[in-house]
């Protein structure tokens, strides 16, 4: 990509109107100083003393963080959060981000706020070491009342969007924001308001989703098509091309260190390799960075290959941000892409 083309695409980001609908969660990091470790008198177990607590939006919030980093100035957050401390903390964190409009985050006592609590041991001069994570999730089906409120929030912004990202983060079907009922409502709504760029990402499966762009990793491709996660790049390209043709929308498959494959309904298939690793890495959040950059780039008029190049540059930035769920700015991307 030439410098002029890079500037042409990224200069449009500020004017984009993008909504992210999905499972917003709170990423809470507990920073532990090992020099202060004690032993509990009562249990005899090690005591990890927390010296700092930091929190940021995760899940769909990670996609949002990356859109903020790209300079998108109208970002609608659509989902739910509980009437709990984590919910207030999450909404406060979203509200502090430039361009984010959290009015579509439904507050409800019927759900708890999805939270990842991540203890990190900080050894001087070394990468953080994450201990066992403590997660707070919902284990019962999302009430229809909550889904209806989320869909009403989405319908309010849908007519004026340049792009929509739909992120299904939960492992247990129908316990999060993106339920089967919401997908049916979304399919009907898109008939009236045909947003040009709608990108879907689900950690379980994209089987049965409406006619939108599909983004997945190799494991998720396997869940959808029965393909082995170790399938050759040629096989992934062939399967992605067939999916794009039958689905009628772009298909994207991330392949970790092997890069990313993109396929369009017109038969175009592209492979962009991953950037070389430059030191210790932390892959958390890399997939969401790819999702955000694909959506923004395509909405800004990038070609299939250009969107893949931008997404791979973003992933390279994020995996080198240790001990956090990172994000990439336009300046970061320029450093990776422009000679």
Nearest to 125 by CA among 276, 318, 322, 285: 322
DSSP state of 310: H
Answer whether residue 133 is part of any domain: no
Q: Could you give the angle at the alpha carbon of 220 between the alpha carbons of 310 and 82, nearest 5°?
A: 85
DSSP state of 124: T
Average confidence score pLDDT of the chain = 93
Query: 279: alpha, beta or left, given left = phi > 0 and alpha = psi -120 to 50?
Result: left
Answer whether residue 159 is part of any domain: yes
Please check the confidence at residue 258 and state whether its pLDDT lies above 90: yes
Answer whether residue 323 is part of any domain: yes
Report CA torsion sign: 274, 241, 23, 135. negative
Q: Using only C-alpha atoms, what is the Rg of the chain?
A: 20
Answer whether residue 48 is part of any domain: no
| Domain of 302, in residue numbers | 3-25+57-113+141-337
Answer whether residue 121 is part of any domain: no
CA 59, chain centre distance (Å): 6
Task: State how far the Cα of 161 lies from the Cα of 19, in Å rounded to an integer.
Answer: 7
Tell me the per-residue pLDDT of 217-256, one tens digit each, with 9 for 90 and over.
998 998 888 887 788 999 999 999 999 999 999 999 999 8
Answer whether residue 328 is part of any domain: yes
- Confidence (pLDDT) at 285: 72
Tell me the per-residue pLDDT of 31-79, one tens digit each, with 9 for 90 and over.
999 999 899 999 999 899 999 999 999 999 999 999 999 999 999 999 9
**Number of separate domains in the chain:** 1
Answer whether residue 108 is part of any domain: yes
Please check the confidence at residue 325 and state whether its pLDDT lies above 70: no
Task: State how far the Cα of 8 lies from the Cα of 91, in Å rounded to an integer.
Answer: 33
Confidence band, pLDDT 50/70/90 cuts, at residue 320: confident
Burial (CB count <10 Å: 0-12, 13-18, 19+), residue 230: exposed
- At 103 the three-state DSSP class reads strand
CATH assignment of the domain containing 95: 3.40.1190.20
């Amino acid at each position: 990509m030439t410098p002029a083309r890079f500037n042409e695409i990224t200069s449009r980001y500020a004017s984009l109107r993008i909504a992210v609908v999905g499972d917003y969660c709170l990423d809470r990091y507990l920073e532990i100083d090992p020099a202060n470790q004690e032993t509990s008198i009562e249990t005899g177990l090690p005591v990890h003393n927390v010296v700092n607590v930091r929190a940021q939006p995760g899940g769909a919030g990670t996609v949002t963080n990356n859109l903020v980093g790209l300079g998108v100035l109208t970002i609608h957050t659509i989902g739910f959060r509980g009437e709990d401390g984590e919910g207030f903390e999450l909404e406060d964190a979203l509200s502090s981000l430039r361009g984010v409009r959290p009015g579509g985050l439904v507050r409800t006592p019927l759900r708890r706020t999805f939270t990842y609590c991540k203890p990190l041991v900080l050894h001087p001069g070394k990468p953080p070491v994450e201990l066992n994570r403590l997660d707070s999730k919902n284990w019962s089906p999302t009430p229809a009342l909550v889904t209806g409120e989320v869909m009403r929030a989405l319908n309010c912004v849908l007519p004026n969007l340049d792009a929509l990202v739909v992120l299904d983060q939960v492992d247990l079907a129908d316990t999060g924001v993106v339920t089967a009922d919401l997908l049916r409502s979304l399919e009907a709504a898109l008939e009236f308001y045909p947003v040009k760029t709608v990108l879907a990402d689900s950690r379980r499966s994209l089987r049965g989703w409406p006619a939108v762009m599909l983004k997945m990793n190799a494991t998720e491709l396997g869940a959808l098509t029965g393909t082995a996660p170790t399938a050759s790049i040629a096989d992934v390209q062939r399967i992605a091309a067939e999916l794009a043709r039958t689905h009628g929308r772009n298909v994207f498959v991330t392949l970790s260190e092997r890069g990313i494959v993109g396929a369009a309904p017109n038969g175009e298939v592209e492979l962009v390799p991953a950037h070389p690793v430059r030191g210790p890495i932390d892959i958390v959040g890399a997939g969401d960075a790819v999702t955000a950059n694909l959506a923004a780039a395509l909405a800004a008029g990038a070609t299939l290959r250009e969107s893949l190049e931008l997404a791979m540059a973003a992933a390279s930035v994020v995996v080198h941000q240790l001990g956090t769920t990172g994000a990439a700015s336009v300046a970061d991307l320029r450093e990776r892409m422009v000679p």
